[in-house]
């Protein structure tokens, strides 16, 4: 009994998620005292809305990072979803059908990247860099570089972006659903365990009878598909399709996942951790804004947080390796 | 009397709460080959890392030529004339063998330009007595044994007085190991002191002058090899009496046929046919690079596109890929444990369940972590796996226990045929005997067992029948009293096939 409690406690305190929650709570406390505008319903709601859609992309990126991949195209693909759905809608298509097609187009982009990574054998980094540029080019080509105003979008469609159920915004409900479902899938299901095996040691996974190419292909497709979903929610919220949306999003998203415990070498990470990472980054941004810190400082501070998290992780792993090897 | 070349006394080292060394000592004389033995976890590597300055002792004294020294880093160690060949191969895969060998010198040189012709020539001279390796090849293109030889060559180019070799022959064949010892003898004759770590009893008794045995971080005994028997050493290492190193062989007739392979042919091997039987352990011998691993990976569809026919329990089967083999119960234990055998960063339980997650999952593919832990626990118990918890990362285990996890992973799918590629490489004596006993038990229970090994005593001591591969072809099969080192070597030598044909 005693030992069981000890392992539970040591696991709780050993877990990265706990550390992040503590840091977030501390920041919360500090901000509550530092700014009267912080702990207000409006601010909380605005803050959650700000990262709730991007968090869906974080989910996709985290899964891809666990499998050992990476995707730089998430920002452009998110914009591509908006542009495709927006153009189809302006040409008279039902917005729901247009959205479905746009998400499928994003999945197609993922499939093309997956093909080049697994069957041609190129690196994720390069393939997604190319996809990032191409998808952005398509967005600009399709719109002539100007945002598409979608004022005619029906209310029931805009509801997914700006509506609420009771006092809770729909976008936040969607975000919580995605996070809860994918966190469970990743922790508990066989299909997603294969993602961990593949990322941890691709060759050992192949030597365990796992079809690793298929795993990598599918995680690449999943990440792009989730970008598509995010793009549609953004479109419903903004009531427009912006071809330049999401520039630099990939860095934010990768940073969140890595702060949450994912590793660029694969095999590690959780959805919960990554979301906490996203919350931390978002909390820092809005706190700095509330304290009237220059926008330029924000990037510097966020970059430093990323560096600190990775450095901390590095020493943690090193210490474990030393202590564990007796 | 001249003081010893190197003397370590009362060395202690702790990592947090764990005491890795508790009063270790070692005395190395100039011109001797001094074997250091002990089970994995006995503290040998920790002690060597202290000599090389990678680790600092918590307390204790190091003297070279009677002078007290402080070795605060590998650079200091090099200055003091200490060279260490690590157990792990650490070559840069993309650069040439020659550049790998002279990496340390390149780092120190003041010359701005590389003279590659000169490097290649010097590398060729260093490698020549060891093996035929083209120094211009990228290191990643070499086999594991050749890479190991390059690591050794690298140390030989350092101008050292104290040379430490940590399990240098783990990946080598007997023939390559013999060449290595010829070189070491020459170095010792020039007054260099050599510390030699190995689990291979035979080569220690054939080549070393003195032996120091460690256990649990402590010094147990140091003696002239001539005054000891192998069982004295084993007993000192494990701290208890091991009656025999190998389990008893099959008694009586072998049982029914489990696996039949006929006419297996691919790029690296031709027309290979063999059978596995109940109760019998088949050994596959031969030199490294002869095609032994390739044959096992060909049958299991892990590599290549072998043509040939396979029967399992009398029924012909078509195997498309490794997943197909696993479904039919034909599995392969990799020779490269860390490279492709296990998931080092993942928990033990998740490693054991990797081949068939459905066994520990409920409906909709939801993993039952209780069942997963229980599975690892129960297989771990039969293998006598020593681990605190099934949730610990495999990286935290000793080599022998890591190998047991790799084996547990295969046993979890209740296999009917297991190909084991170097199943006890880098595993200590105690765990080795346990693994051998487990294999014997599996064979008796009706699992087809084929063991690929470069260790002669393992083939001779463990197997009931040995087939020998040379240059991609079966050159012969030995059984019972015919399994001897001499006969295996004759069949394994390149050209053995032609020789045997000429006789007929």
Give the ipTM of the model, two decimals please. Answer: 0.81
Q: Chain A interface, mutation test: which of B330, B354, B402, most A Cβ atoms within 10 Å?
A: B354
Helix (H) or strand (E) holding B212: strand B210-215
With helix as H, strand as E and coil as C, how does B5-70 read? Answer: CEEEEEEEEEECCEEEEEEEEEEECCCCEEEEECCCCCCHHHHHHHHCCCCCCCEEEEEECCEECC
Phi-psi region of B65 (alpha: psi -120 to 50; beta: other; left: phi over 0): left
Beta strands in B65-192 (DSSP E): 67-68, 82-85, 162-166
Chain A 178-207, residues with CB within 8 Å of chain B CB atoms: 188-191, 193-194, 196-197, 200-201, 203-207
Of A204, A206, A326, the CB nearest to B20: A326
Q: Would you give per-residue pLDDT tens digits along chain B (504 residues)?
A: 688 999 999 999 987 666 789 999 999 999 999 999 987 668 888 899 999 998 899 999 999 999 999 999 888 888 898 988 887 777 888 888 988 888 776 666 677 777 778 888 888 988 887 778 899 988 888 877 788 888 888 888 877 899 999 888 777 777 788 888 888 898 899 899 999 998 778 888 989 999 999 988 899 999 999 998 888 888 888 776 555 678 888 888 888 999 999 999 998 899 999 999 998 999 999 877 788 999 999 999 998 888 999 999 999 999 999 999 999 999 999 988 888 889 998 999 999 999 999 889 988 889 998 999 999 999 999 898 888 889 888 988 888 889 999 999 999 999 999 999 999 887 877 788 889 999 999 999 999 999 999 888 889 889 999 999 988 899 999 998 899 888 888 888 776 665 555 554
Check residue A14 and give its pLDDT. 59
Decide if A15 touches B, using CB distance below 8 A: no
* Tokens describing residue A124: 């994720």
Regarding beta strands B82-85 and B162-166, do their DSSP bridges make them parallel or antiparallel, or are they unpaired? Answer: parallel
pLDDT digits (tens, 9 = 90+) for B328-379: 999 999 988 888 889 998 999 999 999 999 889 988 889 998 999 999 999 9
Q: Would you give per-residue pLDDT tens digits along chain A (326 residues)?
A: 333 444 555 555 557 788 889 999 999 999 999 988 888 888 888 888 878 899 999 999 999 999 999 999 999 999 999 999 999 999 999 999 999 999 999 999 999 999 999 999 999 999 999 999 999 999 999 999 999 999 999 999 999 998 989 888 999 999 999 999 999 999 999 999 999 999 999 999 999 999 999 999 999 999 999 999 999 999 999 999 999 999 989 999 999 999 998 988 888 899 999 999 999 998 988 888 888 888 888 888 888 888 888 887 777 666 655 443 33
Task: Give the three-state DSSP class for B269.
Answer: coil
Check residue B158 and give its pLDDT. 78
DSSP string, B330-362: EEEE-S-IIIII--TTSBHHHHHTTT-GGGGB-
On the CB side of A103, CA atoms within 13 Å amount to: 15
A187, closest residue in chain B (CA to CA) = B367
For CA atoms B354, B360, B365, B370, give the dihedral sign: negative
Helices within B357-414 (DSSP H only): 369-382, 399-411
On chain A, the residues whose CB falls within 8 A of the CB of B341 are 204, 207
Decide if B271 touches A, using CB distance below 8 A: no
Decide if B404 touches A, using CB distance below 8 A: no
**DSSP letter assigned to residue A189:** B
Decide if B121 touches A, using CB distance below 8 A: no
Check residue B406 and give its pLDDT. 95
Check residue B499 and give its pLDDT. 57
Check residue A4 and give its pLDDT. 42
Check residue A326 and give its pLDDT. 30
Check residue B485 and give its pLDDT. 80
């Amino acid at each position: 009994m005693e030992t069981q409690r000890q392992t539970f406690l040591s696991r709780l305190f050993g877990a990265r998620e706990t550390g992040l929650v503590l840091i977030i709570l501390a920041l919360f406390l500090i901000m509550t005292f530092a700014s009267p505008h912080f702990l207000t319903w409006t601010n909380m709601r605005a803050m959650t809305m700000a990262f709730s859609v991007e968090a869906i992309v974080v989910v996709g990126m985290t899964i891809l990072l666990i499998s050992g991949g990476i995707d730089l195209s998430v920002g452009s693909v998110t914009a591509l979803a908006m542009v495709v759905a927006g153009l189809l809608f302006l040409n008279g298509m039902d917005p729901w059908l247009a959205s479905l097609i746009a998400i499928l187009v994003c999945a197609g982009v993922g499939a093309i990247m997956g093909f080049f990574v697994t069957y041609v054998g190129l690196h994720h980094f390069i393939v997604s860099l190319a996809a990032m540029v191409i998808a952005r080019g398509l967005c600009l080509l399709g719109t002539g570089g100007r945002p598409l105003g979608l004022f005619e979008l029906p209310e029931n469609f805009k509801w997914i972006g700006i509506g609420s159920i009771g006092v809770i915004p729909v976008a936040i409900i969607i975000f919580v659903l995605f996070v809860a479902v994918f966190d469970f899938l990743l922790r508990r299901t066989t299909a997603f365990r294969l993602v961990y095996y593949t990322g941890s040691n691709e060759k050992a996974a192949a030597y365990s009878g796992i079809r690793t190419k298929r795993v990598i292909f599918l995680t690449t497709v999943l990440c792009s598909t989730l970008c598509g979903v995010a793009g549609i929610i953004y479109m419903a919220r903004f009531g427009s399709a912006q071809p330049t949306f999401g520039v630099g999003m990939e860095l934010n998203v990768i940073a969140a996942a890595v702060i949450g415990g994912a590793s660029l070498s694969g095999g590690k990470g959780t959805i919960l951790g990554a979301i906490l990472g996203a919350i931390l980054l978002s909390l820092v941004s809005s706190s700095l804004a509330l304290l009237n810190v220059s926008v330029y400082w924000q990037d510097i501070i966020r970059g430093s947080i990323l560096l600190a998290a990775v450095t901390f992780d590095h020493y943690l792993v090193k210490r474990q390796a030393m202590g564990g090897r007796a | 009397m001249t003081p010893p070349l190197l003397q370590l006394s009362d060395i202690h080292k702790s990592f947090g709460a764990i005491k890795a060394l508790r009063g270790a000592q070692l005395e190395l004389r100039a011109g001797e080959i001094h074997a250091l033995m002990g089970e994995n976890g006995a503290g040998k590597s920790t002690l060597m890392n202290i000599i090389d300055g990678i680790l600092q002792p918590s307390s204790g004294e190091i003297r070279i030529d009677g002078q007290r020294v402080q070795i605060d880093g590998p650079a200091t160690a090099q200055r003091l004339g200490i060279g260490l060949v690590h157990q792990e191969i650490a070559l840069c895969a993309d650069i040439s063998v020659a550049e790998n060998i002279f990496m340390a010198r390149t780092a120190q040189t003041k010359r701005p330009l590389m003279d590659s012709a000169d490097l290649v020539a010097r590398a060729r001279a260093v490698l020549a007595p060891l093996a035929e390796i083209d120094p211009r090849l990228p290191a990643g293109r070499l086999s594991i044994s050749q890479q190991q030889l390059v690591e050794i060559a690298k140390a030989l180019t350092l101008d050292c007085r104290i040379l430490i070799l940590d399990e240098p022959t783990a990946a080598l064949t007997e023939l390559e190991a013999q060449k290595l010892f010829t070189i070491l003898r020459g170095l010792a004759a020039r007054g260099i002191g050599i510390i030699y770590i190995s689990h291979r009893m035979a080569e220690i008794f054939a080549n070393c002058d003195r032996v120091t045995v460690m256990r649990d971080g402590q010094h147990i005994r140091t003696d002239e090899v001539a005054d000891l028997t192998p069982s004295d050493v084993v007993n000192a290492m494990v701290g208890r009496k091991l009656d025999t190193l190998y389990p008893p062989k099959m008694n009586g007739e072998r049982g029914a046929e489990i696996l039949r392979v006929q006419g297996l042919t691919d790029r690296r091997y031709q027309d290979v046919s063999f059978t596995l039987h109940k109760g019998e352990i088949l050994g596959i011998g031969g030199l490294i690079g002869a095609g032994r691993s390739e044959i096992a990976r060909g049958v299991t569809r892990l590599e290549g596109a072998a043509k040939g026919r396979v029967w399992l329990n009398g029924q012909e089967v078509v195997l498309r890929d490794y997943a197909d083999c696993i479904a039919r119960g034909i599995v392969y234990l990799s020779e490269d444990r860390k490279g492709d055998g296990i998931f080092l960063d993942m928990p033990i339980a998740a490693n054991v369940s990797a081949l068939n997650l459905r066994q520990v999952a409920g409906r909709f593919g939801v993993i039952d972590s209780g069942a997963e832990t229980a599975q690892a626990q129960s297989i771990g118990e039969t293998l006598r796996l020593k681990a605190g918890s099934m949730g610990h990362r495999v990286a935290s285990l000793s080599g022998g226990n890591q190998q047991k996890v790799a084996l547990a992973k295969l046993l979890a799918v209740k296999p009917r045929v297991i190909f084991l590629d170097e199943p006890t490489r880098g595993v200590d004596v105690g765990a080795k005997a346990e693994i051998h006993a487990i294999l014997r038990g599996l064979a008796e229970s009706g699992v087809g067992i084929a063991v690929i090994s470069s260790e002669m005593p393992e083939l001779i001591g463990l197997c009931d029948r040995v087939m020998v591969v040379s240059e991609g072809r079966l050159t012969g099969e030995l059984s019972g009293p015919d399994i001897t080192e001499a006969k295996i070597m004759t069949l394994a030598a390149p050209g053995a096939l032609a020789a045997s044909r000429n006789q007929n």
